[in-house]
Amino acid sequence: MKLELGRDRVVYTGKWLKVIERKFRNKVTGHKGTWEVVERPSRRPIALVGAVTTENELLLTKSYRVPLKKWTIEMCAGMIEESDASEEAAARRELMEEMGYEVGEMKRLMCGPFNAGMQNDQLVIFLGWDAKKVREPQLEGGEDIKVVKVPIKRLIPFLLRPRKNLLVDVKIFSLIPFLTQRGTHGKSGKR
């Protein structure tokens, strides 16, 4: 590794985030610098869930995001909590809390960083089939979330041409190869 890491200096610590200045030096060029890093104190991954109904609709969320001051289309997501029995249990819990849906089969697709140049977060992405609504969502006080059903056959145009003042979370695109590969075939067998 060409980089040598120096001391960290904590700039800010909040309830959910910590901002750090991390010193580094390139051992080849001698260049020294400071990297601004955002960390989550819990260091647990975030579970993201794409859920497909028996009617071949992908369930997404429309959420108002305070940092962006805009509405976004996203996958259902949330922190994996210490009390969750597993990553999958966390994904199922978030789906129930934010959308009021449960799924039958659920598959872990991938895990990895999503903004490695700035933060230490990692995502675990799941895809579930045969989603059905079982109750009303149980949102937290700071959440403004609506469920959006998008037919799989119209997903790409929906994502590429969002309505005005609506942003699409690019992580949704990570589901597309798996939807195609699996044929979005839950127990219903519909294609």
28-37, 42-51, 139-148, range with greatest mean pLDDT: 28-37
Dump pLDDT digits (tens) for 121-135: 899 999 999 999 999
Percent share of the chain, pLDDT over 90: 74
113-122, long-range: CB < 8 A, 24+ apart: 114/171, 118/36, 118/37, 118/38, 119/37, 119/38, 119/39, 119/40, 120/37, 120/38, 120/39, 120/40, 120/43, 121/40, 121/45, 121/46, 122/45, 122/46
CATH 3.30.479.30 fits 46-182, yes or no: no
Give the per-residue pLDDT at 185. 44
Q: How confident is the model at residue 181 (pLDDT cuts 50, 70, 90)?
A: low
Domain extents for the chain?
3-39, 46-182
Dump pLDDT digits (tens) for 70-106: 999 999 999 999 899 999 999 999 999 999 999 999 9
Give the per-residue pLDDT at 134. 97
Q: How confident is the model at residue 142 (pLDDT cuts 50, 70, 90)?
A: confident
